[in-house]
Amino acid sequence: MCAHVIVAEDDEKQAELVRRYLEHEGHTVGVVGDGLAALAEVRHREPDLLVLDVMMPRADGLDVVRVLRAEHREVPVLMLTARSTEDDLLLGLDLGADDYMTKPYSPRELMARVRTLLRRSRRGPAGAAGPVADRVLRVGTLAVDPDRHEVSVGDMAVECTPGEFRILAAMAAEPDRVFTRQRLLEELHGFDRYVSFRTVDVHIMNLRKKLEPAPRRPVRLLTVFGVGYKLTDPARKAPRASS
């Protein structure tokens, strides 16, 4: 699986190490040393993957992700950072990063993460086996289009981060099924000891803000206490009129 990967890292030794490992696996690699250069390279090259350091000059990695997602660029992003708090991790994911590794990291594990992201991006959202021809997943007025990466509720388009979209597409494919947090984590990142169940909770909370008329009283994206979450059609929950 050869790909074009951009490495945005201002530490020259780290950048060279990552470049050598990526090229050893058969990928072509471009290296940049600051956030603005990373944005320019993604816009020009349209890479298969961006390996992005958080702490960089001119624009940090979080700003780079924020701009790319605002431009609706779906390049997978693997963030690298010396920050190790869960809040930092969740902020990166919330902005639209696909995965997150803290320094120091094992280069072999980094390559495993790269392979996972490339496989996922090429097979499509929610584990689809290939391109989906005009298949739209519908749960009541909610529509999820895996091929076009579009979400709408009625006539209103809904912008989702890649992580939010993967969760929503998986749940829309099986409405009313209860998904455990572990199952949703697998949709997001595979088996990853660095990512907690709180990551899923943050994505669900953000999806409720976008999909629910009253996010604190959800009717579509429901919690099944002690188990996980499920996506349902709120119209089916309406009580029958009394005779």
Q: Tens of pLDDT along 127-176?
A: 444 433 347 899 999 999 988 888 999 989 998 887 888 899 999 999 99
Convert the pLDDT of each residue in 53-62 to its tens digit: 999 999 999 9
Is residue 232 a contact partner of residue 178, using CB atoms and an 8 Å limit?
no
Q: What is the pLDDT of residue 157?
A: 92
Length of the chain measured in residues: 243
Pairing mode, if any, of strands 4-8 and 28-32?
Answer: parallel
Output the furthest CA–CA distance in the chain (Å, rounded).
Answer: 76
Q: Name the token pair of 9.
A: 């890292």
Would you put residue 206 in left (φ > 0), alpha (ψ -120 to 50) or beta?
alpha
What's the CA gap between 1 and 27, in Å, rounded?
8
Q: What is the pLDDT of residue 151?
A: 93
Convert the pLDDT of each residue in 188-238 to its tens digit: 665 444 456 677 888 899 899 999 999 999 999 999 998 999 999 998 754
pTM over 0.75: no
Sheet holding 99-102, edge to edge: 28-32, 4-8, 49-53, 77-81, 99-102
Specify the 3-state DSSP secondary structure of 95: helix
Convert the pLDDT of each residue in 85-138 to its tens digit: 666 677 777 788 888 888 888 888 889 888 878 877 664 444 444 433 347 899
